[in-house]
Amino acid sequence: MITKCYKIDTNNINQEQMQEAGALIAAGELVAFPTETVYGLGGDALHPEAAKKIYAAKGRPSDNPLIIHIAEVSDLERVAKVVPEQAKKLAEAFWPGPLTMVVWKKESVPYATTGGLDTVAVRMPNHPIALELIRKSGKLIAAPSANTSGRPSPTEGSHVVEDLDGRIAMVLDGGPVGIGIESTIIDLTEETPMVLRPGYITPEMLAEVLGEEVIIDPGIIAADDTTKPKAPGMKYKHYAPKADMIIVDGDKEKVVEQISLLLQEAKAKGQKAAVIATEETKMLYQSDVVLSIGTREEEDSIARHMYKILRDCDKLDVDVIYSESFKTPRIGQAIMNRLLKAAGHQVIHV
């Protein structure tokens, strides 16, 4: 299959190209598109064959459910068996935006989309191209991240092309995304609302709007696999670069000292090593490959660049990656959740 790629100007969206993209979705084909979090790989959410195509294109295990993207809050009623009061409050506060809600599904939502579950995950993205695509297609769009399963999520159109060229009908390239990590997922089918995946919207923000306690799935906090996460996708190895990756965690001076030591050892073994550092620390390392992920002064910059940096490590063909840890105040939990997975939980505490 030849994959068509259109560069779309977010401020001046080409309606003809969007019409063509929407028609492809309506015909059961796949179109990758930008959202504010990462790029999504979209197909008709209520069409089981489209869901199957998504799994095949990504090489994704079919028990890992897809998130349904909607363009109007009222479309929640089309997929939810009942719309809980909590969902109304959260939609009012955070939609369109980087929040996915899990609710009981309507019968019309195929099990192919929900990975066999009786619940469905729904989100209204905050990106003009995503919203326009949903509207033009006249469908609801099921979309996981538009990467090959296991690889870092795509935050630029070129990342999608790297992974999926020849496997999908179209890529809408709207430039780099704004947030850079996937949506927060909150499960509203539990007794107490539960965060299944941390993201840009924090448990504190959710609790404040709901006026009740919000818990975090114990399965995503556990450092080992003794407790299974509830979101099926969270149990898989994910976001991983090709090289071995080790995170060094602790006070700045000690981290720099430890990584410098590891760099010397790698050099002695003839290994090519990369360091993932920040604007504040990048000049402190003696290595050919020092990548700055962003600045600790602005934690959003760290989230925004993380997946691109992991992909850059692949392109530079390094053998081993040493990364600082980024337990930043607000979204540090979301950042570290992804980074720890990328590193297969290899951490040195200093």
Q: Name the one range near Mg ion by CB under 5 A: 145-153, 262-270, 291-299, 341-349.
A: 145-153
What is the total count of residues that contact Mg ion (CB under 5 A)? 1
Round to whole Å and give the CA distance between 190 and 214: 10
Alpha carbon separation from 118 to 81, 85, 201, 203, 211 (Å, rounded):
10, 19, 25, 24, 27
**β-strand pairing of 194-197 with 273-277:** unpaired
232 binds ligand AMP (CB under 6 A): yes
Could you tell me whether strands 184-187 and 273-277 are parallel, antiparallel, or unpaired per DSSP bridges?
unpaired
* Secondary structure letter of residue 284 according to DSSP: G
Q: Which of 121, 120, 123, 127 has the alpha carbon at shortest distance from 95?
A: 123
Interface mask toward ligand AMP for 165-184; x: CB under 6 A: -----------------x--
Instruction: Kindly indicate which of the ranges 54-62, 87-95, 99-107, 144-152 contains the residues binding Mg ion, using the contact rule CB under 5 A.
Output: 144-152
Q: Say whether residue 43 binds ligand AMP (CB under 6 A).
A: no
Instruction: State yes or no: residue 121 binds ligand AMP (CB under 6 A).
Output: yes
- Gap between the terminal Cα atoms of the chain: 50
Give me the 181-220 binding string for ligand AMP, x by CB under 6 A, dash otherwise: -x--x----------xx-----------------------
Residue 332 contacts ligand AMP per CB under 6 A: no
For residue 102, the minimal CB distance to ligand AMP (Å) is 5
43 binds, among ligand AMP, Mg ion, none (CB under 5 to 8 A by kind): none
Q: Which of residues 65, 96, 174, 193 is near ligand AMP by CB under 6 A? A: 65
Span from 10-18, 115-123, 215-223, 300-308 in contact with ligand AMP (CB under 6 A)? 115-123
334 binds ligand AMP (CB under 6 A): no
Q: Which among Mg ion, ligand AMP, none contacts residue 96 (Cβ within 5 to 8 A by kind)?
A: none
Tokens standing for 43? 């197909």
Integer Cα distance of 288 and 158 in angstroms: 25
Alpha helices in 95-239 (DSSP H): 111-114, 128-137, 157-164, 203-210, 218-221
Asked if 40 and 143 touch (Cβ cutoff 8 Å), the reply is: yes
Number of neighbours of residue 273 by Cβ within 10 angstroms: 25
Least gap, CB of 32 to ligand AMP (angstroms)? 12
Q: Which is nearer to Mg ion, 143 or 210 (CB)?
A: 143
Exactly one of 86, 137, 145, 337 binds ligand AMP (CB under 6 A); which one?
A: 145
Q: Report d(CA 105, CA 215) in Å as an integer.
A: 22
The single residue among 37, 86, 145, 183 that binds Mg ion, judged by CB under 5 A, is 145
Residue 114 in the binding site for ligand AMP (CB under 6 A): yes
> What residues contact 73, with CB distance under 8 A and at least 6 apart?
91, 92, 95, 124
* Rounded Cα gap, residues 183 and 24, in angstroms: 25
Q: How far is the CB of 145 from Mg ion (least distance, A)?
A: 3
Cβ-based nearer residue to ligand AMP, 58 or 290? 58
CA distance 163 to 129: 21
Residue 67: enclosing H or E segment and its boundaries? Answer: strand 67-69
Query: Where do contacts with Mg ion occur on this chain (CB under 5 A)?
Result: 145
Query: Where do contacts with ligand AMP occur on this chain (CB under 6 A)?
Result: 64-65, 67, 102, 114, 117, 119-121, 144-145, 182, 185, 196-197, 230-234
